[in-house]
């Protein structure tokens, strides 16, 4: 449980939390922070990739980018790792990714039995 303001800040900052995960030896998908050159993104991460706001929770603003980039100055760009999303139980998203709508909208994701 995150209790201190510093722990909560680290948990909300995706770039910082990924740096801490790597130091701790936790396998973490490769990422870059914008602004970054499109050619560098394609060479480092490949296509498709995940783009998400750096300091938002609950997958707000998560996008799968397949062909083009449109970046802001605080966007995390992460290698796309295909597969299923897992939490305590298996989540089956109605679309390709477990995003904000899947979590909170009617007819969103469901848990496998």
pLDDT confidence of residue 89 = 67
- φ and ψ at 99, to 5 degrees? -110, -170
pLDDT for position 66: 75
For residue 6, the model assigns a pLDDT of: 73
Q: Kindly report the CATH number that applies to the domain delimited by 5-81.
A: 3.30.1490.20
In b/e form, how buried is each residue of 62-72, taking b as 16+ CB within 10 angstroms? beebeeeeebe
Contact 17, 9 (CB under 8 A): no
**Residue extent(s) of CATH 3.30.1490.20 domains in the chain:** 5-81
Residues 6 or more apart in contact with residue 12 via CB below 8 angstroms = 55, 57
Q: What is residue 70's predicted lDDT score, i.e. its pLDDT?
A: 53
* pLDDT of the residue at 50: 86
Predicted confidence at residue 60, as pLDDT, reads 81
pLDDT at 23: 95
Give the residues of the chain that fall short of pLDDT 50.
71
Task: Give the model's pLDDT for residue 72.
Answer: 54
pLDDT of residue 46: 86
Task: Report pLDDT for 49.
Answer: 85
């Amino acid at each position: 449980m995150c209790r201190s303001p510093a722990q909560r800040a680290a948990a909300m900052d995706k770039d910082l939390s990924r740096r801490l995960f790597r130091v701790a030896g936790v396998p973490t998908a490769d990422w870059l922070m914008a602004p970054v050159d499109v050619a560098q993104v394609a060479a480092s991460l490949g296509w498709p990739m995940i783009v998400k706001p750096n300091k938002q929770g609950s997958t707000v603003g998560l996008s799968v980018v397949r062909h083009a980039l449109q970046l802001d100055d605080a966007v995390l760009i992460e290698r796309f790792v295909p597969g299923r999303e897992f939490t305590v139980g298996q989540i089956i998203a109605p679309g390709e990714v477990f995003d904000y709508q899947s979590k909170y909208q009617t007819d969103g994701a469901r848990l496998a039995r």
